[in-house]
Structure 1
Amino acid sequence: MSFPRIVMGAGAIAGLAGELSALGIRRPLLLSDTGLARAGHLDRVSALIQGPCEMFSGIPENPTSAGVEAAAERFAAGACDAVVALGGGSVIDTGKLLAVIAAQGGVPGDYLGRPGKVKSAMPIVVIPTTAGTGSDSSPDAGIHPDAHSLSSGITSRHVVPRLALCDPELTATLPASLTAATGLDAISHCMEGYLAIGDNPLADVLALDGLSRAWRFIENATNDGSDLRARGHMMLAAFEGGIAIAKGLGPAHAIAISCGDQGLHHGRLSALGLLAMMDFMLVKQPAKMGALAVALNIPDPSDIADALRGLMRRLGLPLTLAEIGYRIGSLDRLAQLCAESHFNMTTPFSPDQAEYREMLSSIL
């Protein structure tokens, strides 16, 4: 398991120039999105680089192959030597695949779903502006071939960032709805990372600590964007969740990714996936569910689902697929997609199509 160097705390980005110099980075591509550019964050960070850099802010809300290709063209044209990804999971995931293409050549389709093809990558530095995906610490990146397709991805130690500058001040202007949705994504990573198969005590400890932090601080962070203490705890929880999912994920993410072809927010879908899988996990993994209950300060593991539902309701998050706006064509086909998901390879039990149909029916 690889880890980035992490610099965390209010004002952390002030040391960006020194950190880039220590890594030998001389001309990075500063990657971001239009919203952060409008908010002034792109100009602020580019000034902190204190040297030449290229900038590209055309990353869409859900990362696409076209976005990766456009960024790769800018990287090559500017003779860049590293990627600095400023943004949420979409920007960071784009930066990871861009770094691979910049090092090895080719196009996104050469690598998506083919992690064995990733042999190297240009240096990646990340400055997260959300607290949820954990992409700042994980070996994973998910990219949609286009805006209306299911995402595919890569997993490789080569795309673990060299450096993560986690500054909660950059999340202070994140809207409450996105703070809540990304925070639920962090909770889903901590839960499923802990439940995943494999013997990794360090990842398990981080998963439980991240879960406890996120559960305690997500409401404060959502209700008061200026609460940098709560924002900081959420950033740390998301970082820990990103490490935890190196073990793998499970049914919640099989559901979220299978429903990811209609442009809906991944964090909201992941939260619904968690609700759907709880009854099954209570039967299949009672001891681990007990540990999750302790981390959540909930006396009985059977109450986790109700507690999660209550948290989502207080945060204003949807509790059903219908409420989130997902249009189901064939429930059986959707259940089949979930059953075929690669996330079932790391879950403590591999649900079949009928079991996924039951899970999906519980959140319709």
Structure 2
Amino acid sequence: MLTQYTLKMPHVVYSGEGALDHIKEIAGTCAGKAVVFSDKGIMAAGLLEKPLSLLKEAGVGYSVLDGLPAEPDCEEAQKVIDAFKAEKAGLIIAVGGGSVMDIAKLASVLATDAYTVRDLLDDPCLAKKCVPTLMIPTTAGTGSEATPNSIVAVPEKELKVGIVNDAMIADYVILDGEMIKNLPRKIAAATGVDALAHAIECYTSNKANPFSDTFALEALDLILTNIERACDDPDALDAKNAMLIAAFYAGAAITASGTTAVHALSYPLGGKYHIPHGVSNAMLLVPVMKFNEPACRDRFAAAYDRIAGGKGMPQRTPEEKSAWIIRRLDEIVTHLEIPSSLREYGVGDQDLDALVEAGMDVKRLLVNNMREVTPEDARKLYMEIM
């Protein structure tokens, strides 16, 4: 665990019933028009209607950039950002999932011509905030609204890469359950398990600290208690709101700590095979946590005490508590019917060498893992999900 630690958060976070109404006051404080980042799916689902009507009520001009592809690569991101530059925006509003928010955050530091997305891949320290941002997540999962991270695919590497700079932390965040109440179960499940991975990884990271533990444990408690009902019951607004808050908390934990081997080994699966990020994390979550268990047993046991110990559960040994946490993760992934085999996506034994090489290259996350991951370990973990 770190001996020195930092907590950096969005400037203002609005949550609860009617939180979207704060769009008017936020937009009213910014000079110039608003540019709304979204995608075709969000538009088709009608989720832009209220945010845009609130901008109209505030008398703020706006334009919409909804041509964002799912999980974009760096070239696709640059194309959208180039279109954004021409708008001369005074405020960026992102309405969408992780990819939408990630590209909007990049746009907030790329209104200048001084550097490009590829320049930031080489040197993230170049980024300087140019335009204030408002993040409105439409999934309860990525936590991008809370982090300084933007994830883009790099085609020639067939890998997703994180650009991390504090300048990309949002100025404003709105968490409103209305934005996720009609989320399809398949998407709610994959994004929810992404948040679950964030929480348990940050709690068991080498960079874990009192700040990250506070958010990671609360997120873990909320997710383990609510995720199944939030995905299964369209009317469970309380569970959906809890998941939205949990995803934000887990994002805050990322900012204070960092994810580990689940995300490190997941990135090549998205970069080369275009497996949805939440799905690839879900596949790897239990195998990696079982691998990590000898090094993380005390942390898993403490998580059990925080989550289950005060809820009428029997007394258990640290080994039993640790096993309970891993079993609960497995139950959730199984219940949510997330794909469990890489072969469903055309990945076979012939791909193992390239996967191992790419996964081991994600050193910024592997160094966070409490148990060292060797190339042979990575191979065995990938083989478990073949």
TM range (shorter): over 0.9
> Aligned equivalents of 2:18 and 2:349: distance in 1?
45
- The residue correspondences of 1:56-67 to structure 2 (distance < 5 A) are 56-67=65-76
Distance change >3 Å, CA 181–CA 18, structure 1 → 2: same
Contact 2:142 2:247 in 1 (8 A): yes
What whole-Å deviation, never above 9, does each CA across 1:15-73 have from its counterpart, x for those lacking one?
20112224x34312101000111122223311211310111101111123243223323
Deviation of the 1:12 alpha carbon: 1.0
Cα–Cα, structure 1 residues 11 and 63, in superposed 2: closer, same or farther, change >3 Å? farther
**2:258 match:** 248
- What is the TM-score of this pair, normalised by structure 2? 0.88
Distance 1:323 1:311 in 2: 20
Q: Which of 8, 11, 24 is equivalent to 2:15?
A: 8
Give the aligned partner of residue 351 of structure 1. Answer: 373
Q: Measured at CA, do residues 191 and 112 of structure 1 come closer, stay the same or move farther in structure 2, by a change above 3 Å?
A: same
Distance 1:185 1:147 in 2: 26
Instruction: Give the AA of the match of 2:289.
Output: M
Quickly say closer, same or farther: Cα 1:199–1:358, change in 2 above 3 A: closer
Aligned position for 2:115: 106
Letter of the 1:19 counterpart: I
Residue 136 of structure 1, CA deviation: 0.5
Letter in 2 for 1:279: K
Q: Counterparts in 2 of 1:188-227, with a 5 A limit?
A: 188-198=197-207, 200-227=209-236
CA distance in structure 2 between the aligned counterparts of 1:248 and 1:25, rounded to whole angstroms: 35
Instruction: State the shift of 1:309 in Å.
Output: 1.9
Shift of 1:168: 0.8
With over 3 angstroms needed to count, the CA separation of the structure-2 counterparts of 1:323 and 1:307, relative to structure 1, is farther
Partner residue of 2:351 out of 330, 352, 364: 330
Consecutive unaligned residues of structure 1, counting only runs of 5 or more, are none
CA distance in 2, matches of 1:210, 1:304: 14
Task: Pick one of 269, 279, 288 that aligns with 1:259.
Answer: 269
Matched, 1:315 2:336: yes
Taking the aligned partners of 2:346 and 2:326, their CA distance within structure 1 comes to 22
Pairwise CA distance, 1:199: 5.3
Instruction: Please show how residues 17-96 of structure 1 align to structure 2 within 5 Å.
Output: 17-22=24-29, 24-50=30-56, 51-96=60-105
The residue number in structure 2 matching 1:185 is: 194
What SS does the corresponding residue of 1:285 show, helix, strand or coil?
Answer: helix
User: Which whole-Å CA distance do the structure 2 matches of 1:146 and 1:52 have between them?
Assistant: 36
Work out which of the residue numbers 276, 301, 311 in structure 2 matches 1:290. Answer: 301
User: Aligned partners of 2:287 and 2:114: how far apart in 1?
Assistant: 41
Distance (Å, rounded) in 2 between the aligned partners of 1:122 and 1:329: 46
What is the count of residue pairs matched by the alignment? Answer: 363
After superposition, residues 138-149 of structure 1 pair within 5 angstroms as 138-146=147-155, 149=158
Find runs of 4+ consecutive structure 1 residues off by over 6 angstroms. none
Give % identity: 28
- Judge which range, 300-309 or 87-96, deviates more: 300-309
C-alpha distance in 2 between matches for 1:67 and 1:30: 17
How far apart are the structure 2 equivalents of 1:237 and 1:113?
A: 32
Coordinate RMSD, CA, aligned? 2.0
Q: 3-state SS of the aligned residue for 1:329?
A: helix
Is the alpha carbon distance of 1:111 and 1:173 closer, same or farther for their aligned partners in structure 2, counting shifts above 3 Å? same
SS at match of 2:227: helix
One-letter code aligned to 1:291: A
Please say which of residues 297-306 and 121-130 is displaced more in the overlay. 297-306
Are the aligned partners of 2:158 and 2:268 in contact in 1 as well (CA < 8 Å)? Answer: no
How many angstroms apart in 1 are the aligned matches of 2:296 and 2:94? 37
| Residue 324 of structure 2: aligned partner | 303
Determine the structure 1 residue equivalent to 2:3: none
1:87·1:130 contact (CA, 8 Å) conserved in 2? Answer: yes
SS in 2 for 1:41: coil
